[in-house]
Chains A and B, each alone.
Chain A
Amino acid sequence: MAGLGQKPTAGGRTYAGLGLPLMLPAWVIIGFFLVLPIGIMLVYSFLTKEFRGGVIWEPTLAAYDQFFFDRGLFGDEQPKIEWTYILIFWRSIWQAGLATLMCLLIGFPTAWFIATRPASSRTIWLFLITVPYWVNLLIRTISMKFLIRDNGPLNQWLLDAGLISDPIHIINTNTAVQLGLFYSYLPFMVLPIYAAVERYNFSLSEAAADLYASRWITLRHIILPVVKPGIIAGCILVFVPSLGAFLAPDLLGGAKNFMIGSLIEEQFKGNAGNWPFGAAASMILLSMVLIVLIFYARAQGRAHAKGAS
């Protein structure tokens, strides 16, 4: 029916012609205070460092050189690959990846369970999942630190219950960081998957069952492919902030489990005080994130193209 709801034009047109003026404040604020700063940061990454913060306006590749190459203490040796920072980046990717996997393994069943509840109780479940997300991240991280300390409540209970004879050492390990990241971003995994499952047409499951598929076969071959966009969105929403996270590695990981966020922070707030290097590390992190997002956008584009044909 050619009702008024389905117009051949995409999007509303009530305020046609006012698009640009209405967008102007956002363009000014975000353009001037985010896009331009990123540009200046890029410039800074090619400048010479001033000790105790700041820069000298002399172009150099020193920051990137320091990131990738080791030229000895006085800078006169044959350049070797500098593994310190690459390892920090690699550890960040690994930690973020594991945290994402943990979120997916717990988040998918949770999202599925919630999306298959009756509509009335669904909002309550969803509410329960989102409440922690609204709680200050710093406080959540502190809570986690408190819980998993060597003589924290978790170890005490396990000792009291006789399940362990010595406290499990979790704090200041990689596991603690993964746990912290997992805890920080779990709702980001649940919500997009939930949205995808909610749109899932259950007659597909019925059709699969009618054609002799077991429920796990149906999950593997029907459900997962259909809700895949939601899963990918969830993974990105967890992985990207985990990669540059500062609080969880800093408070739970300790000095040995440095991640990118701490490395960058140290260049500006800590003792290292090397702004160009911090800017360069930020640019590298930003590039990695953009690569992930571009892959995602292209995959989405392909999915849309497939859906349209």
Chain B
Amino acid sequence: MAAKPDLKRFPGFFALTLLCLFLLYAPLVIVMIYSFNDSQSITIWGGTSLRWYGDVFWGPEADKFKQAAINSLAIATAAAIAATTIATMSATAMLRAGHFRGKGASFALINLPLMVPEIVTAVATLIFFSAIGFTTGYATILIAHIVFCIPFAYLPIAARMEGVEEVYEQAAQDLYATRWEAFRLILLPLMAPGILSGFLLAFIISLDDFIITNFVKGAGIETLPTAIFGAVKQGIKPNIMAISTLLLGVSILFVTLSYFAGRIGQKTKTPTGETT
């Protein structure tokens, strides 16, 4: 048995995986390292310090970035809540409501924001608001974000709902629960990890967006990406690297949370089987 060739293994695949991870992480790690550089120049290493973090919070541009960060977080929170609610309702319709007219079209509709290139969505939204005479501002950013966050929230929610066997809701109904009770007391708690993942994903996607925000934001309103982009246009300065590292930290915190949300969910699942 020991000499049996492993058919799953291909020479070089492991090396390519490491290369893949290296390519993905090298730029991020380097920016992280250079964010601690105690030097005016981004090229020359001048020793370790936190001076650029200080610059981010108390430097000349601190107010601008602070306001942008508040805008980003507020919009991302509101957009993610709205998108998660809509996505949960849609997933229930698609996966639990049997056949209805326009089901195929509904599925295409939910995925439409994923299929339309971001730049096209940005242009269309800008033209739309201009055509109906809507002043661009916080509201336009929020609406645009809700639209493209819906499919991202939908994916993990629908995946989770598919994983929850309908027999639980049937058992609830068999035990005299109304459909609303079956939804609230059984389906919702069982798919909570999916809803949490959907929320986190939508939140990150909203926080991440540059192109659409750049088109529909009003004059003077900045989110973090548009503020950073504006600053980078003048050249990469060390404080940008500090901000980037901070945002990186937020992203990694979120993905870790979402990862553990998924794991917790899996543990409570196991319907039959012995003690886990």
Q: State yes or no: do A and B touch (Cβ within 8 Å).
A: yes
Q: Which chain B residues in 80-100 approach chain A with CB under 8 Å?
A: 85-87, 89-90, 92-100
Stretch touching chain B among A63-71, A129-137, A227-235, A300-308: A129-137
Interface centre among A34, A125, A215 (most CB of B within 10 A): A34
Please give, as numbers and ranges, the residues of chain B lying within 8 Å of A31 by CB-CB distance.
Answer: 109
In the assembled complex, the CB of A245 is this many whole angstroms from the nearest CB of chain B, namely 8
Subset of 13 A-B contacts with CB under 8 Å = A11-B94, A14-B182, A15-B183, A20-B102, A23-B106, A26-B89, A30-B150, A37-B124, A40-B128, A125-B17, A128-B21, A246-B211, A285-B119
- Chain A 241-266 against B: per-residue CB contact (8 Å), 1 yes, 0 no? 10110110001000000001100110
The answer to whether residues A269 and B214 also contact, given A19-B98, A29-B150, A183-B23 and a CB cut-off of 8 A, is yes
Q: Which chain B residues in 164-189 approach chain A with CB under 8 Å?
A: 165-167, 169-170, 173, 179, 182-183, 187
Please give, as numbers and ranges, the residues of chain B lying within 8 Å of A278 by CB-CB distance.
Answer: 123
Residues of A in contact with B (beta carbons under 8 Å apart):
4-5, 9-20, 22-23, 25-27, 29-31, 33-38, 40-41, 44, 54, 106-107, 109-110, 112-114, 116, 123, 125, 127-132, 134-140, 142-147, 151-153, 156, 182-183, 186-187, 190, 202, 205-206, 209, 215-216, 218-219, 240-241, 243-244, 246-247, 251, 260-261, 264-265, 268-269, 275, 278-279, 282, 285-286, 289-290, 293
**How distant is the Cα of A209 from the Cα of B30 in the complex, in angstroms?**
45
Please give, as numbers and ranges, the residues of chain B lying within 8 Å of A128 by CB-CB distance.
Answer: 21
In the assembled complex, the CB of A301 is this many whole angstroms from the nearest CB of chain B, namely 12
- Chain B 224-267 against A: per-residue CB contact (8 Å), 1 yes, 0 no? 01001100100010001100100110011011000100010000
Please give, as numbers and ranges, the residues of chain B lying within 8 Å of A243 by CB-CB distance.
Answer: 117
B73 contacts partner chain A, Cβ-Cβ < 8 Å: no
Is the Cβ of A116 less than 8 Å from the Cβ of B8?
A: yes
**How distant is the Cα of A132 from the Cα of B113 in the complex, in angstroms?**
22
The answer to whether residues A12 and B98 also contact, given A30-B110, A30-B147, A140-B28 and a CB cut-off of 8 A, is yes
Is the Cβ of A40 less than 8 Å from the Cβ of B131?
A: yes
**Extra pairs beyond A15-B93, A282-B123 (10, CB < 8 Å):** A14-B166, A16-B98, A29-B86, A36-B128, A38-B116, A134-B255, A142-B31, A142-B228, A202-B8, A246-B211
**How distant is the Cα of A219 from the Cα of B8 in the complex, in angstroms?**
10
> How many residues of chain B have a CB within 8 Å of chain A?
99
Is the Cβ of A13 less than 8 Å from the Cβ of B96?
A: yes
Is the Cβ of A33 less than 8 Å from the Cβ of B228?
A: no
Task: Choose from B93, B126, B247 the contact partner of A19 (Cβ within 8 Å).
Answer: B93
**How distant is the Cα of A303 from the Cα of B23 in the complex, in angstroms?**
34
Is the Cβ of A285 less than 8 Å from the Cβ of B252?
A: no
Is the Cβ of A116 less than 8 Å from the Cβ of B117?
A: no
**How distant is the Cα of A243 from the Cα of B214 in the complex, in angstroms?**
19
Interface of B, helix, strand, loop or mixed by DSSP: helix
Task: Choose from A44, A206, A240 the contact partner of B127 (Cβ within 8 Å).
Answer: A44
**How distant is the Cα of A137 from the Cα of B8 in the complex, in angstroms?**
34
Is the Cβ of A135 less than 8 Å from the Cβ of B115?
A: no
Interface centre among B17, B93, B102, B143 (most CB of A within 10 A): B17
Is the Cβ of A33 less than 8 Å from the Cβ of B7?
A: no
In the assembled complex, the CB of B207 is this many whole angstroms from the nearest CB of chain A, namely 7
Q: Which chain B residues in 16-39 approach chain A with CB under 8 Å?
A: 16-17, 19-21, 23-28, 30-31, 34
Interface centre among B20, B93, B207, B236 (most CB of A within 10 A): B20
Please give, as numbers and ranges, the residues of chain A lying within 8 Å of B89 by CB-CB distance.
Answer: 22-23, 25-26
Is the Cβ of A132 less than 8 Å from the Cβ of B24?
A: yes
Is the Cβ of A112 less than 8 Å from the Cβ of B102?
A: no
Task: Choose from A16, A34, A182, A247 the contact partner of B112 (Cβ within 8 Å).
Answer: A34
Please give, as numbers and ranges, the residues of chain A lying within 8 Å of B97 by CB-CB distance.
Answer: 12-19, 22
**How distant is the Cα of A268 from the Cα of B113 in the complex, in angstroms?**
21
In the assembled complex, the CB of B129 is this many whole angstroms from the nearest CB of chain A, namely 8
**How distant is the Cα of A15 from the Cα of B117 in the complex, in angstroms?**
34
In the assembled complex, the CB of B1 is this many whole angstroms from the nearest CB of chain A, namely 14
In the assembled complex, the CB of B162 is this many whole angstroms from the nearest CB of chain A, namely 9
Residue of A nearest to B205 (CB): A134
**How distant is the Cα of A260 from the Cα of B122 in the complex, in angstroms?**
14
In the assembled complex, the CB of B66 is this many whole angstroms from the nearest CB of chain A, namely 17
Please give, as numbers and ranges, the residues of chain B lying within 8 Å of A127 by CB-CB distance.
Answer: 255, 259
The answer to whether residues A14 and B179 also contact, given A127-B259, A139-B248 and a CB cut-off of 8 A, is yes
B130 contacts partner chain A, Cβ-Cβ < 8 Å: yes
B55 contacts partner chain A, Cβ-Cβ < 8 Å: no
Residue of B nearest to A103 (CB): B20
B120 contacts partner chain A, Cβ-Cβ < 8 Å: yes
Is the Cβ of A26 less than 8 Å from the Cβ of B130?
A: no
Task: Choose from A35, A114, A139, A152 the contact partner of B244 (Cβ within 8 Å).
Answer: A139
Is the Cβ of A54 less than 8 Å from the Cβ of B251?
A: no
Task: Choose from A142, A205, A279 the contact partner of B123 (Cβ within 8 Å).
Answer: A279
Is the Cβ of A289 less than 8 Å from the Cβ of B115?
A: yes
Is the Cβ of A261 less than 8 Å from the Cβ of B169?
A: no
B121 contacts partner chain A, Cβ-Cβ < 8 Å: yes
In the assembled complex, the CB of A54 is this many whole angstroms from the nearest CB of chain B, namely 7
In the assembled complex, the CB of A288 is this many whole angstroms from the nearest CB of chain B, namely 9
